[in-house]
């Protein structure tokens, strides 16, 4: 019996036609179909009539506010929204994430990095993995065995939960409040953000060769943390 491939519809909202086409070429595979548009007005019409799995949204579109559009989306849907921006738009990026966007990528970007981000967010509704092999790390959450270079590490429950959400979202930015809610389930709103900073430092001390200059668990200034994807 032939397996049915689940199609994912990706809406690309980008007014730079050359970049729009490059994104589609970079992401093209058997499971993705693309709907391309250049304005928020067109994106609204498409969303009313189509089944969209993920949106790639340029923040600097000519006809309307990308941040307001993210708010509109969040009123009716939890589908992943990835922002496309330039680094000089940092306040807009933060506002977009506060409005409900899941992640962002800044121009110019490597198309391989974009491909990884899209894959991460489209995996969001699948069963989480329990076993990750990344570079010289071997993390088995099912058995609660964590190794670096073959050497067993002792991680606290807090460190395990923090590590898992970062691994599940490898290459994507996870916001600080999302990490707090996940790691300290049920009591997150009672905690100071310093608790997360301390937990990240302890995890880095276990994983990184130089925890002050981490290769893997990276700060995303003012937003959160990411498990960096090595080139």
Q: What is the mean pLDDT of each run of 10 residues along the chain (231 residues)?
A: 58 90 83 89 87 90 89 87 82 87 82 78 65 92 91 93 88 84 62 85 96 94 85 50
Burial label, 22 (beta-carbon count in 10 A; 0-12, 13-18, 19+): middle
The token pair at 121 is 């967010």
Judge contact between 143 and 54, C-beta under 8 A: no
- The Cα–Cα gap between 112 and 134 comes to 17
Q: Which of 199, 197, 177 is nearest to 189 (CA)?
A: 177
Judge contact between 52 and 28, C-beta under 8 A: no
pLDDT of residue 40: 93
Give the CA distances from residue 118 to residues 60, 83, 131, 194, in Å, rounded to whole numbers and listed in that order.
20, 11, 21, 30
The token pair at 76 is 């009716």
Domain with CATH 1.10.10.10 in the chain: 131-227
Helices (H), 52-190: 66-76, 90-99, 111-122, 157-168, 176-183
β-sheet bridge partners, residue 33: 9
Question: What topology is assigned to 8-122 in CATH?
Answer: Rossmann fold (3.40.50)
Long-range contacts from 206-213, C-beta under 8 angstroms, 24+ separation: 206/148, 206/153, 206/155, 206/159, 207/137, 207/148, 207/153, 207/163
pLDDT of residue 4: 41
Judge contact between 165 and 128, C-beta under 8 A: no
- The Cα–Cα gap between 72 and 95 comes to 14
pLDDT of residue 191: 66
List the CATH code of the domain at 131-227.
1.10.10.10
pLDDT of residue 1: 34
The token pair at 165 is 């959400």
pLDDT of residue 188: 46
Judge contact between 184 and 162, C-beta under 8 A: no
Judge contact between 55 and 100, C-beta under 8 A: no
Q: Which helix (H) or strand (E) holds 151?
A: strand 151-153
Domain with CATH 3.40.50.2300 in the chain: 8-122
pLDDT of residue 110: 75
């Amino acid at each position: 019996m032939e397996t049915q491939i689940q199609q994912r519809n990706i809406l690309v909202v980008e007014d730079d036609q050359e970049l729009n086409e490059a994104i589609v070429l970079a992401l093209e595979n058997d499971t993705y179909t693309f709907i391309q548009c250049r304005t928020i007005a067109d994106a609204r019409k498409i969303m009313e009539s189509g089944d969209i799995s993920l949106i790639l949204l340029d923040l600097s579109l000519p006809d309307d506010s990308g941040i307001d559009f993210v708010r509109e989306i969040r009123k009716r849907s939890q589908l992943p929204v990835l922002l496309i921006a330039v680094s000089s738009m940092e306040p807009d990026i933060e506002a977009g994430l506060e409005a409900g966007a899941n992640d962002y990528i800044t121009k110019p970007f490597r198309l391989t990095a974009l491909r990884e981000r899209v894959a991460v967010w489209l995996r969001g509704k699948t069963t989480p993995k329990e076993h990750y092999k990344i570079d010289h790390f071997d993390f088995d959450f099912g058995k609660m065995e964590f190794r670096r270079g073959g050497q067993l590490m002792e991680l606290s429950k807090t460190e395990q939960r923090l590590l898992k959400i970062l691994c599940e979202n490898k290459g994507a930015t996870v916001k600080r409040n999302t990490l707090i809610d996940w790691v300290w389930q049920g009591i997150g709103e009672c905690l100071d953000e310093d608790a997360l900073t301390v937990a990240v430092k302890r995890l880095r001390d276990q994983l990184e060769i130089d925890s002050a200059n981490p290769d893997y668990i990276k700060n995303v200034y003012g937003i959160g943390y990411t498990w960096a994807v090595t080139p």
